[in-house]
Chains A and B, each alone.
Chain A
Amino acid sequence: MTCLKVEQLYAYLEGELAGRDKTALVDHLAACEKCRDALETRKDLLAAAETLPPFDVPPDFAQSIMDRLSPAAAKSKIPLPGRLAAAAVGLATFGITISVVSLISRRSLSQLFLGLNRFFWNAVQGFATTLAKLAKYIVLTFKILGQIAGAILEIFKALTSVIGPETQIIFLCVTMILVIACGYLWSRRFAAERNHEK
């Protein structure tokens, strides 16, 4: 009687045998102690492997991944007591600073607040003046750009009166083909760079 092959034992244990092969193997096992022992050994080995204790997943595992995915969201998740404590510390620091400055400069608190008010008002005035100047420059830039566009339009008008309609169509088609080709090439290059980064 020829004994079984080890791979047949594993196939049997993993439920991969069926029909005649399975019956023949079961019949052989019933008659052969050596093969029965070999089967039980492999059965014990697999049972031990399949019942190994799982690794403990910490309760905050998923949250820590989410925090790493969006650090800004994590920052905003400071608990309310923490935020209140931070606000209280900020207010206290402000009060202490004001008191110290008042003591050093020998001015009353009302004088200090008046001084601060004047300082902030001057800063707001300066900022508003700069903003107005910036707006003026932006308007000026748009005016210049409008004049340039007008000049280009005039040139096109002059050209279309000189060139015949057929030539104009050819010119338009060639321009469109060039634009589409450039767009396609650029998108392919962009996709290739993204793949390379991955």
Chain B
Amino acid sequence: MIVHRYQQPVLNYIGRMVRERELALDFSQEVFLRVYASLRSYRPQFKFSTWLFRIASNFMIDHWRKKKISALSINQSQDSDDDFPKIQIRDSGPSVIRQYELQELRVKIDAAIDKLPPSLRELFVWRHVNGFSYEEMAEIKGLPLGTVKNRVFQAKEILKKLLEERP
């Protein structure tokens, strides 16, 4: 059954996007209702999870639009260049991140994810929480592979920067 199979990844994605459990449950339900309502438009040549997460992603875009978050921050990359920014490792001393215990780091990263722009947050969650491949993410979003990799890279480096800022 569709819901049983995809409820956990959908809830993990939406939950990390909105951070409120009840709202995440409501939104996940709405996503599955949309999925059932559009089942006729599903084409078997595409992976089902790709199609389902495209619906979920569009749902989230509608949500951000209603919340008046600019479409640019949802759909567009801040850096439209497909190449990596080529950041060279600098000698900045031992990282604060390495001083945290894993559990402590989880709490901090959970809060830091919320500070990412929606377009980067979504891809970071798909890649490193849901475990999607870059290729699948590119297909879901209809973006070039390089752009997707670049955005995930940006997300990780922003997160690192946020975690290194002492509270």
- On whether the two chains bind one another, the answer is yes
Give A contacts to B, CB under 8 Å: 3-7, 9-10, 34-35, 37-38, 40-42, 44-58, 61-62, 64-66, 68-69, 198
* Contact A50-B131, Cβ < 8 Å, known A41-B160, A198-B41: yes
Chain B residues packing against A (C-beta within 8 Å): 1, 3-4, 7-8, 11-12, 15-16, 21, 24-25, 28-29, 32-33, 36, 38, 41, 84, 86-89, 91, 94-95, 97-98, 100, 102, 105-106, 108-110, 113, 124, 128-129, 131, 153, 156-157, 159-160, 163
From A40, A44, A57, contact of B7 by CB (8 A) = A57
Once A3-B88, A45-B163, A48-B106 are accepted as A-B contacts, the answer to whether A69 and B38 lie under 8 Å apart by CB is no
- Whether A6 lies near B157 (C-beta < 8 A) is yes
Asked if B129 and A69 make an inter-chain contact with CB atoms under 8 angstroms apart, the answer reads no
Contact A34/B91 with A44-B98, A62-B4, A198-B41 known, Cβ cut-off 8 Å: yes
A7 engages B33 (CB within 8 Å): no
> Are A7 and B153 in contact (CB-based, < 8 A)?
yes
Decide yes or no: A7 and B129 within 8 Å by CB, A62-B4, A64-B29 being known contacts: no
Can you spell out 29 A-B residue pairs with CB atoms less than 8 angstroms apart? A6-B87, A6-B89, A6-B153, A6-B157, A9-B89, A10-B153, A10-B156, A34-B91, A35-B89, A37-B98, A38-B89, A40-B98, A41-B98, A44-B97, A44-B98, A45-B97, A45-B159, A48-B106, A49-B109, A53-B106, A54-B11, A55-B8, A57-B11, A58-B25, A61-B7, A65-B32, A65-B36, A69-B33, A198-B41
Main secondary structure, interface of B, reads helix
Does the CB pair B29–A3 fall under 8 Å?
A: no
Q: Which secondary structure characterizes the binding site on chain A?
A: helix
* In the bound complex, CA of A58 to CA of B7 (Å): 10
Residue from B1, B8, B86, B95 in contact with A54 in the complex, judged by beta carbons closer than 8 Å: B8
Contact A4:B89 (CB < 8 A) given known A48-B106, A69-B36, A198-B41: yes
Once the chains bind, are B89 and A45 in contact (CB under 8 Å)? no
Contact A52 B89 (CB under 8 A): no
CA distance A74 to B16 in the complex (A): 31
Smallest beta-carbon distance B145→chain A, Å: 12
- Residues of chain A within 8 A of B113, CB atoms compared: 49
Complex Cα distance, B21 from A144, in Å, reads 67
Closest to A55 in B: B15
Residue of A nearest to B94 (CB): A37
CA distance A52 to B113 in the complex (A): 11
- A54 near B105 (CB under 8 angstroms)? no
**How far, in Å, is B77 (CB) from chain A's closest CB?**
16
Report which of B87, B100, B102, B129 forms a contact with A5, defined as CB distance below 8 A: B87
Partner of B129, one of A6, A41, A45, A52: A52
Known contacts: A48-B105, A50-B128, A51-B102. The answer to whether A42 contacts B160 by CB under 8 A is yes
CA distance A57 to B11 in the complex (A): 8
